[in-house]
Every structure is written in C-alpha cells, then in structure tokens.
Structure 1
Amino acid sequence: MDQIQTLAADFRIRLDNYRRDDGLSLQSFPHGACGDASILLAHYLAQHGFGPFRYICGRRGDSSHVWLSDGNLIIDITADQFEDFEITAFVSTTSGWHDALNGEDQHEATISVWGPDWEARFQAAYAALMSVSTITNGQ
C-alpha cells in the first residue's frame, strides 16, 4: 500500500502542475475531473505493476464522484474538491466518507474503456503528464 500511496501522490502532483486538457476534463482539476483523473491514475498504476482497478462512482446530493478500488483498497486523488475532504492523495482500506457516497462498481478503470477516440485522448494526456515536473515549492 505504501508504494501505491507514493505513486498516487506523485501522479496528483503531475495533475496539479498540468496545464492542458487534451480533450478531457482536467482544466479545473481537481474540480469535475474525478472520472478522467481516475482513469489516468489507473493507467499510471498499471504501468508500475499495480491493478487492475475498478472505476467506482458514488453520489452526494446532486454531485457524482469517482475513485478507484481493487475490492478493499480505496484510491482517490480528487476528493479534496469537496469542502469536507482535505487529503489530496487518499489511499486506504477504510473511509466513512467514501462509504457515505454508496459507490457502485461501473467497470474496469482502463484507458480503452470508452473506445478508440477516448483512448487516444487519454494516451495524449498521459504522455503530456509524464513530462510534467513533480518538483514542488523548491524541493
């Protein structure tokens, strides 16, 4: 779990520093970007030998929210778009916050899930993200 936490945090920094949209919903990241960010994160984790992960979608009032799961593990890099969640790269086996969203397993989180046009968008964004610096605030 520590490796996944480190990778999720690294990927979150990449998304924070990303300044393109490549036809995805990343321009206001993390707001409204949970679905696309989760698909990209699942691909990143797969490139490092983890997965497969499931695309989980829950609801909170009029809002939906997406995160990754492998059954017992919750991975969420966009929950901080909500006022009552502050962790930018959340990885845990328990979360009352996520439980309250009554998430449903939608499908495997893979960049090819919505066909070749979307896969091309995800591939372009992923390639650009891999060139983004993960250095923050003079570190």
Structure 2
Amino acid sequence: MEELKALATDFRTSLEEYRNDHGLTLQSFPEGACGDASILLAHHLTQHGFGPFRYMCGRRDDATHTWLSDGELIIDITADQFDDFDVPVFVSSTSSWHDSLDGRDMHEAAISVWGDEWAAKFRAAYAVLTMD
C-alpha cells in the first residue's frame, strides 16, 4: 500500500502543477476535477502494475464525487476539495466519509471508457503529466 500511496502522491503533485488544457476538468484541481483525475490516476497506477480499478461515484446534496476502488482499497486524490475532508491523498480499506456518499461502481476506470475522442484527451494530458 505504501508504493501505491507514493505513486498517487507524486501524481497528485503533477496534477497540481498541470497548466494545460486538453479539454479536461483539471484547471482548478482538485475542485471539480475528480472524474478526470480519477481516470488519469487509474491509468498511471495501472502503468506501474496496480489495478484494475473501478470508477466509483457518490453524491452528497447537490455535489457528486468520484474516486477509485480496486475492490479492497479506496484511492482518492481529490476529496480534499470538500470542507470536511482534509487528506490530499487518501488510500485506505475503509472510509466513513466515502461510505456516506453511497458510492456506486459506475464502470472500469480506463482512459478508453468514454471512446476515442476522450481517450485522446486523456493520453495528451497524461503525456504532459508524466514528462520527466
């Protein structure tokens, strides 16, 4: 779990520094970026031998939120956009906060899940995010 958290932490740092627009919702990261950030993080973690991951979506009042799950762990790098969650990189097997969102497994968390046009956007952003 430590390697997974380290990869997620490094990737979040890249997202915080990301200043490009590839048609994604990353400009105000982490605010409003949970969906696209989760897809990109799943791709990144998969490239490093983790996964597969599921795209989880929950709701509180008028706000929706997405995060990743591998069936055992909750992986979330954008929950700190909410006032009542202050952990920038969350990796754990339990979370009462996530449970309160009544999350649902929506689909595989893969860059190709929404078709070729979205996959191209994700690939372009990922290339910039992982430049050394």
1:47 aligns with 2:47: yes
| Equivalent-residue separation in structure 2 for 1:122 and 1:90 (angstroms) | 22
Tell me what 1:121 maps to.
121
1:97 aligns with 2:75: no
Runs of 4+ in 1 over 3 A off after TM superposition: none
How far has the Cα of 1:131 moved from its partner?
1.9
Letter paired with 1:14: S
How far has the Cα of 1:20 moved from its partner?
1.2
Where 1:105 maps in the other structure, the secondary structure is strand
After superposition, where does 1:67-78 map in structure 2 within 5 Å? 67-78=67-78
| Equivalent-residue separation in structure 2 for 1:72 and 1:49 (angstroms) | 16
Q: Which runs of 5+ in 1 are unaligned?
A: 133-139
Tell me what 1:36 maps to.
36
Tell me what 2:14 maps to.
14
Q: Which runs of 5+ in 2 are unaligned?
A: none
Q: How many residues align?
A: 132
Where 2:66 maps in the other structure, the secondary structure is strand
Letter paired with 2:119: E
How far has the Cα of 1:21 moved from its partner?
2.3
Per the normalisation by structure 2, the TM-score is 0.98
| Equivalent-residue separation in structure 2 for 1:34 and 1:131 (angstroms) | 22
| Equivalent-residue separation in structure 2 for 1:2 and 1:108 (angstroms) | 23
Per the normalisation by structure 1, the TM-score is 0.93
Letter paired with 2:65: H
After superposition, where does 1:78-93 map in structure 2 within 5 Å? 78-93=78-93
